[in-house]
Amino acid sequence: MDVNPHTYQLDPRKDFYRGVPSILNSEEAALAYCFKIEAELTKTNQSCFHDKDFGPKDDDDLEGNATSLYFKGVKP
């Protein structure tokens, strides 16, 4: 099967890990997502991408602080 990341259609049910749009389950989906981000940045004349799904949401988000670097929030 020849998959082209430029034409790959992202399916949130199968491509997003645990429903998080910026964590992808396959290389094809990840490349397609990168191309989508690049197109949106170009369209809006921006140069930086901010991943709103990564890390803590605010200073009180202890789970987000812990899990931003380690899956279970505990340093191995």
pLDDT, tens digit (0-9, with 9 covering 90-100), for 37-76: 999 999 999 988 888 777 777 777 776 676 767 767 776 7
Is residue 2's pLDDT more than 70?
no
Q: Supply the pLDDT for residue 29.
A: 93
- Which tokens is 52 given? 């709103």
Cα–Cα distance for residue pair 75/24, rounded to 1 Å? 23
Least confident of 3-12, 30-39, 52-61: 52-61
For 36, other C-beta atoms within 10 Å of its C-beta total: 15
Q: Supply the pLDDT for residue 64.
A: 65
pTM listed for this prediction: 0.66
Question: Letter for the amino acid at 56?
Answer: P
